[in-house]
Amino acid sequence: MAARAGLLVAGLLLADASTAAAGDLAYVTSQEAEELSIVDLDTMTVRSTIAIPGKPAGIALSADGMRAYVSRPEAKAISVVDTASGTVVREIDTGGGPLGIAVHPSGAPVYVADWFSHSLLVVDPQAGKVVGSFETGESPSGVAVSGDGAVIVTADRDSDQVSFIDSATGDAIARVAVGARPFGVAFSPDGTRVYATNVGGDSVTIVDAESHAVLDTVDVGSHPYAAAETRGKVFVTDQYGSTVTVFDAATRERLTVLETGEYPEGIDVGSDGRFVYVANWFDDTLAKIDAETLEIVGHVTVGEGPRAFGAFVGADPATP
């Protein structure tokens, strides 16, 4: 507990003015505090907080940055946040156990992994209801959508696989065996690869997004949760290691291991690719990593229990 308190203080003291892409904001779900922290990433300060009951976990932003969608597993619902006003404008019942969440690039629909029904829910945010579901493997967690919106990928934790799903038909394109208990899933920036973080296997499986062949499996730290690629490097949060493992996207060689904070989970990249942001669940902090120098350049304290599972960084809607 003393270490935790010390790191919380450090979170306040280490915030610095390393410049993010102008106007980037982070929307950090804090499960224990039951709130959403909106963080100005230029100054690494909390701009505002929004109450989100129901143990919020997953987060997704629309491409235009005007809407944030938050999964609330205990409420069996998702919240729709108007980012310009910083208010919850709609709550949508999903039933089951909503966890991972992603948005089609067009702004709709919203895809929600239902942990209990072993399916991907299709939500119409305008109508405010679930309008369909697609079959996944058991206990889907992370969700990612291709840049053109044609393909959805889910990490099916208890099936040790990822599912590639046709967004137009809901049909499975492929089910690909990966490592033990994949949790997070993410596309590479060019859309050619998918990274599955195997929380039970201490590894990341790299899958070709077109052929669905497994390209490689890379060993990382203990209990990896999520991954993100930028500037030719892959950053992986290692929950039990309290670290982020960084490896070269081309050679798969390990570059470094960074101590970002205790129990890191959600990870995302700023809009210009220069900075990487990590939510540290047990430290109640958001860490900022320079993707070029591989140095930690800032922390900010957020609400208790930050998870930020999903795409949580986007442009400030107030920026022209």
Tens digit of pLDDT for each residue in 109-168? 999 999 999 999 999 999 999 999 999 999 999 999 999 999 999 999 999 999 999 999
Q: Provide mean pLDDT across the span 229-245.
A: 98
Res 216 pLDDT > 60: yes
Amino acid residing at 59: I
pTM of the predicted model over 0.85: yes
Res 7 pLDDT > 50: no
Q: Provide mean pLDDT across the span 67-92.
A: 97
Res 22 pLDDT > 50: yes
Q: Please state, for a pLDDT cut of 70, what percent of the chain lies above it.
A: 93
pLDDT at 201: 97
pLDDT at 227: 98
Work out the pLDDT band at 17, boundaries 50, 70, 90.
very low
CATH superfamily of 2-315: YVTN repeat-like/Quinoprotein amine dehydrogenase (2.130.10.10)
pLDDT at 199: 98
Q: Provide mean pLDDT across the span 182-195.
A: 98
Work out the pLDDT band at 318, boundaries 50, 70, 90.
confident
The average confidence (pLDDT) of the chain is 93
Q: Provide mean pLDDT across the span 162-186.
A: 98
pLDDT at 13: 36
